[in-house]
C-alpha cells in the first residue's frame, strides 16, 4: 500500500509529513530509517505524523520520529511546517492551531505573510526532568569530555538541550562531541541530548551550530535555537528578542524570562508531494 507524504523544510531542516488521519500508517523504526536514507530513500531529518486529537480539546496529535527511527517529544521547526501543511491541505481552517505532543501542548499562529510563530511552552530546568545528571548548581554546568571541559547550560523544551558558548564556530567538534554526549548509557544525559554551540555576536544576535539527537548536525533546529537564546538570557548576555543565524538561515526567538513560554518564528516551505510503498 502506498503512503502519501509531503516533503517540507525550514532553513534546510527537512521533514516528511504524513496525514495519518485520512490514510492508515503505522510507523516502525526500520521503515523510517530506510525512508530517511538520502541515497536510497526520501531523505529527511524527521518524519512527522498528524493523528486525531488526543485530547479532543486540541486540533491534532503531533508525533515526531528522528532519522534513526526513535520517537521524540519535540521539534520546533517541524511544528512550524506542520502548521503550514494543515492550512494548505485544508485540514484546519483556523490560523491558530493547537498540537499535542507526547508531553507538551504547542500553540501555533499562521500569519498572512507565510511566517508561523510557535509557542513551545515553558523551559524546564530541573535536572531530573530533563533528564540530566550533574551536582553543580545552575545555570552553568561543567562537563568533562575526551575533547576538553565545557561549561554548558542544560534545559528541556520537551527534549533535552546542552548549550555551549564558544568563540569560534568553525573550530568546535560538533559531530564528535554530539556523538559522545549521545552514547548510551551516558553519565550526563541518560536519554541523550541536542547539543548547541553558540557564538554571541551582540545582545540581539547569535550564530549557532546544532547536533540533533538521533540525526547529527542539521542546517537548523527550532527548539535548539530557543534553547540557545534561553541560555544566553540566563547569562544576562541577550535581549528578549534575538535573531538566530544558523547554517540554513535565520530564525527569530523571543523569551521574556523565567516562568514565561518561549516563542519561535520562521517561514516553512513545501518542497514536493509524493507517495512511497
Phi and psi at residue 257, in whole multiples of 5°?
140, -175
Choosing from 75, 153, 162, 193, the catalytic residue is 75
Helix, strand or coil, per DSSP, at residue 164: strand
Catalytic (active site) residue 153: no
Beta bridge partners of 55: none
| Residue 226 annotated as catalytic | no
The residues near 182 (Cβ < 8 Å, ≥ 6 apart) are 189, 192, 193, 211, 213, 214
Contact criterion met (CB below 8 Å) for 30 and 69: yes
Give the DSSP letter of residue 137: P
Active-site option among 153, 162, 221, 226 = 221
The three cell numbers of residue 24 are 492508515
The DSSP line for 188-245 is S-TT--EEEEEEEEETTEEEEEEEETTTEEES--HHHHHHHHHHHHHTT-S-SEEEEE
Is residue 50 within 8 A of residue 59, CB to CB? The reply is no
Bridge partners for 105 per DSSP:
100
- C-alpha dist (Å) from residue 49 to 25, 99, 176: 9, 11, 30
Determine the Cα–Cα distance for residues 106 and 17; give it in Å rounded to an integer.
17
Structural element, H or E, at residue 76: helix 76-88
- Tell me the HSE value of 161 on the side-chain side, using a 13 A CA sphere: 33
* Residues annotated as part of the active site: 75, 221
Amino acid at each position: 500500500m502506498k503512503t502519501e507524504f509531503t516533503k517540507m523544510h525550514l532553513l534546510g531542516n527537512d521533514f516528511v509529513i504524513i496525514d495519518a488521519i485520512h490514510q492508515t500508517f503505522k510507523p516502525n523504526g526500520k521503515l523510517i530509517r530506510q525512508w530517511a536514507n538520502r541515497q536510497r530513500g526520501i531523505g529527511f531529518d524527521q518524519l512527522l505524523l498528524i493523528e486525531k486529537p488526543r485530547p479532543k480539546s486540541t486540533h491534532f496529535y503531533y508525533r515526531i520520529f528522528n532519522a534513526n527511527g526513535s520517537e521524540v517529544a519535540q521539534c520546533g521547526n517541524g511544528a512550524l511546517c506542520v502548521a503550514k501543511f494543515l492550512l494548505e491541505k485544508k485540514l484546519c481552517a483556523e490560523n491558530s492551531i493547537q498540537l499535542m505532543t507526547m508531553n507538551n501542548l504547542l500553540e501555533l499562529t499562521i500569519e498572512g505573510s507565510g511566517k508561523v510563530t510557535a509557542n513551545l511552552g515553558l523551559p524546564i530546568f530541573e535536572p531530573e526532568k530533563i533528564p540530566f545528571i550533574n551536582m553543580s548548581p545552575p545555570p552553568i554546568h561543567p562537563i568533562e569530555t575526551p575533547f576538553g571541559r565545557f561549561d554548558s547550560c542544560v534545559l528541556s523544551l520537551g527534549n533535552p538541550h546542552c548549550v555551549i558558548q564558544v568563540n569560534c564556530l568553525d573550530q568546535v567538534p560538533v559531530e564528535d562531541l554530539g556523538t559522545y554526549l549521545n552514547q548510551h548509557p551516558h553519565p550526563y544525559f541518560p536519554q541523550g541530548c541536542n547539543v548547541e554551540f553558540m557564538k554571541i555576536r551582540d545582545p540581539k544576535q547569535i550564530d549557532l551550530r546544532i547536533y540533533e539527537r538521533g540525526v547529527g548536525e542539521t542546517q537548523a533546529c527550532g527548539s535548539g535555537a530557543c534553547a540557545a537564546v534561553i541560555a544566553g538570557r540566563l547569562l544576562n548576555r541577550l535581549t528578549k528578542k534575538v535573531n538566530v543565524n544558523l547554517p540554513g538561515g535565520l530564525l527569530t526567538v523571543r523569551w521574556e524570562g523565567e516562568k514565561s513560554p518561549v516563542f519561535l518564528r520562521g517561514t516553512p516551505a513545501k518542497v514536493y508531494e509524493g507517495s512511497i510503498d
